[in-house]
Homo-oligomer: A and B are copies of this chain.
Amino acid sequence: MDEFEIISVAIVEDDTEIRQILSLIVDRSPGYSCKQSFSDCESALDGIRKDPPDVVLMDIGLPRMSGIDGVRALKEKLPETDFIMLTIQDDDDSVFNSLCAGATGYLLKDTPPTELLHSIREVRKGGSPMSPNIARKIVGSFRRAPESPLTSRESEILDKLCNGDNYKTIATSLFISGNTVRAHIKAIYRKLHVTSRAQAVRTAISKKLI
């Protein structure tokens, strides 16, 4: 993807006015082309494969199939295409599910046209354009939970639990008895509302306790 190649863009957006405006902005800008736009994922799935675009701008709140499921389905067929979510949704679920579904960028609809065009260029150059607070949200997801319901000893044991250590191994490595380990693990289960190691590991990871 060199610097001056024309980038073909497709748009999936149910609001007719917004769709037309976006289409115009992109198509009228030098270096960009927008020949396809769709009002829902179903027609996009149908029409987009004839002439795969370089980049798809995808809304989330669409009738029937959501933009997130749309990305999942389209990315399957067009792995070379970059998908940028362009939406008003800024909740965690929308953001993380979009990325898991295969979106490479995530912009909010208040993104000014210049930024939007720059983002389309950037995603083709190997970047991942994101609105600032979206980027912050994503980066923040790598932090450990600031407050844990567990005591420090319990956290220590949870950590070993996640490594797959059994009672004896944990007991030996902490120089305490197996019974004590069990007592701590019971406390951990109670606090995390789980009843097995597998659930404890899953919860520990998803709640960023370790």
Stretch at the interface among A36-44, A55-63, A99-107: A99-107
Complexed CA–CA distance, A136 and B201 (Å):
28
Let me know if B128 and A139 touch, CB within 8 A.
yes
Complexed CA–CA distance, A200 and B105 (Å):
31
Which residues of chain B are within 8 angstroms of A122 by Cβ–Cβ distance? Answer: 132
A107-145 interface bits toward B, Cβ cutoff 8 Å, 1 = contact, 0 = none: 000000000000000100111111011011011101110
Tally of this chain's copies: 2
* Interface residues on chain A, size class: 35 or more
Stretch at the interface among A26-34, A156-164, A174-182: A156-164
Within 8 A of B (CB), among A180-206: 194-202, 205
Q: Which 5 A-B pairs have the closest CB atoms?
A: A127-B132, A164-B199, A128-B135, A99-B142, A128-B139
Which A residues lie at the B interface, using CB under 8 A?
96, 99-100, 102-105, 122, 125-130, 132-133, 135-136, 138-140, 142-144, 161-164, 166, 194-202, 205
